[in-house]
Structure 1
Amino acid sequence: MSAPADTRPLHGKVVAVAGASGPAGQATLRRLAYDGATVVGADIDQHRLDAALAAVRTAVPGADVHGQVIDLLDPQEVHDWADHLEAEHGRVDGLLHLVGGWRGSKTFFDTRIDDWDFLHDTVVRTLQHTSLAFQPALLRSPAGRYAMVSAAAAHKPTAGGAAYAAAKAATEAWTLAMADSFRKESTDPDGDPVAAAVILVIKALVSPEMRAEKPEAKFAGFTDTADLATTLASLWDRPAAELNGQHLWLTAR
């Protein structure tokens, strides 16, 4: 008698997660593994990455989860990573870009250009590198998905958040350009895209650890990391044509 087929929703999918050791990355690794995906997390710090992978394997016995130390500011490293994943697994069905950072000031005049330089590298440049490196493989996948996390601040900047809002706005524009490439280069017989680039919009994230540290805090409008992970894992439940180039709001507009 043959073994029963794996009916988990992401069985057979190969998904890469950039920024795997952060709270959002860890929650997403767990959810993807639970749903049956082959998950490959990347981070620049070996110890943090090892801890994140160990936590997933404890939470999800039998998880098909792997890790790779990558400097996302090195474009060649990122391209090599994408090529290696596709060669090893035969496909790459998703890249979830969960690399972030925040810098701000009390007033607009107090804004430091150094903050922009930091965010340009951490937020913008890393996304540019992952999107360029993984776009060809996602085009070849029958269900390629690229997702990044933006912020409501990009749509309503505050005086002290100029650098952060500008960085997030830049990543949104870049991702929409990637979505246009999918619209033009990856279509089914009906002319609809089969790959999708998606923007998830939050106010801020809150993890279980943050709630435990401040049990009295309301975290109004914040998105739980588990809810973000659920939304990311569900991207393969919807047609690419419905998702491509869309903003998915996880907080009030």
Structure 2
Amino acid sequence: MTHVAAKEAKAMAERNNNGPLSGAVIAVAGAGGPAGKATLRHLAESGAQVVAADANPERLAESVDAARYAAGGAFVTGEVVDLLDPAAAREWADRTEKQFGRVDGLVHLVGGWRGSATFPETDLNDWTVLNDLLIRTVQHTSLAFHDALLRSPTGRYVLISQSGATKPTAGNAAYAAAKAASEAWTLALADSFRKAGGDSGPAAAAAIIVIKALVHDEMRAQKPNAKFAGFTDVSELAEAIAGVWARPTEEVNGTRLWLTPQP
């Protein structure tokens, strides 16, 4: 998108949206899955200008098109970004801020799961995969967007985590350890925001939303008799993500927001 086109789209979005996030520019990493689709839609319907990224162009296009359709032509764009490349992540952050003049949030939805039947059967190759998906992408996006979020009056970094990070099970050693590491990294980001604000309080906020697992309509259709006990619907997750901007910065910075009972 050219700079002129971005300015025109921004102006149109500001005229047409009066939602609680009207005018906000929010980037969504890992936007190609069901959670991404629901999040793009909810943020767009709330008035935000949404800049989505995913490594899979087909899944990304599907999510972006669905959000545009559901939100009545709201401003949603998509970019294929390799978040395992720190330079690509930084270029994405810089390009977004340059085009729109601000970045008010980064929602990190990049996920993946590997596990085993028992602890001794753990395949350490799983750790290699999960280290990339769940840790390195968090490192790269947080470092890339850190300064831009500080420049925003409502900067937010939102990580989606899983309850196993707090209470690991034997077969999920690699997954739980990777999630715990990504949480620790995000809490360090929160401390950076706190220190940047000094006596005035944190200048931006980094928060962790914790779920047990996600469910969406396609899963229910495939397993009509399943109860999905304790699962969070992707629409509920999207609502919780948007709600992070509605709360005071000092209230959400460095916190875990539980959508499942805390272990």
Of 28, 31, 34 in structure 2, the residue corresponding to residue 23 of structure 1 is 34
Structure holding more helix per residue: 2
Structure 1, 209-218 or 173-182: larger mean CA deviation: 209-218
Q: Distance in 1 between matches of 2:219 and 2:38?
A: 14
Question: Which AA in structure 1 matches 2:210?
Answer: V
Contact 1:198/1:244 (CA < 8 Å) preserved in 2? yes
Displacement of 1:62 after TM fit? 2.0
Of 244, 253, 256 in structure 2, the residue corresponding to residue 244 of structure 1 is 253
Alignment deviations for residues 11-37 of structure 1 (CA, whole Å, 9 cap, x no partner): 010000001111111100000000000
Match of 2:201 in 1: 192
Of 167, 175, 180 in structure 1, the residue corresponding to residue 186 of structure 2 is 175
Runs of 4+ in 1 over 3 A off after TM superposition: 3-6
- How do 1:1-253 and structure 2 match up within 5 A? 6-186=17-197, 191-253=200-262
Question: Which AA in structure 2 matches 1:52?
Answer: S
Q: How many residues align?
A: 249
Question: Which AA in structure 1 matches 2:209?
Answer: L
Contact 1:18/1:41 (CA < 8 Å) preserved in 2? yes
TM-score (norm. length: structure 1): 0.96
Q: Distance in 2 between matches of 1:30 and 1:175?
A: 25
Displacement of 1:211 after TM fit? 1.1
Alignment deviations for residues 65-102 of structure 1 (CA, whole Å, 9 cap, x no partner): 00111001000000000000000000000000000100
In percent, how many aligned pairs have the same letter?
A: 61
Displacement of 1:194 after TM fit? 3.2
Displacement of 1:186 after TM fit? 3.1
Q: Please give the secondary structure, in 2, of the residue aligned with 1:100.
A: coil
Displacement of 1:207 after TM fit? 1.1
Q: Distance in 2 between matches of 1:20 and 1:40?
A: 9
Distance change >3 Å, CA 226–CA 5, structure 1 → 2: closer
Contact 2:196/2:203 (CA < 8 Å) preserved in 1? no
Unaligned runs of 5+ in 2: 1-13
Q: Distance in 2 between matches of 1:38 and 1:104?
A: 37
Displacement of 1:7 after TM fit? 2.8
Displacement of 1:4 after TM fit? 7.8
Displacement of 1:191 after TM fit? 1.4
Contact 1:194/1:239 (CA < 8 Å) preserved in 2? no
Q: Distance in 1 between matches of 2:55 and 2:127?
A: 21
Supply the RMSD in Å over aligned alpha carbons. Answer: 1.3
Question: Which AA in structure 1 matches 2:153?
Answer: P
Q: Distance in 1 between matches of 2:207 and 2:260?
A: 16
Contact 2:28/2:51 (CA < 8 Å) preserved in 1? yes
Q: Please give the secondary structure, in 2, of the residue aligned with 1:186.
A: helix
Q: Please give the secondary structure, in 2, of the residue aligned with 1:227.
A: helix
Q: Please give the secondary structure, in 1, of the residue aligned with 2:160.
A: strand
Question: Which AA in structure 1 matches 2:255?
Answer: Q
Q: Distance in 2 between matches of 1:242 and 1:5?
A: 30
Contact 2:207/2:252 (CA < 8 Å) preserved in 1? yes
Displacement of 1:6 after TM fit? 4.5
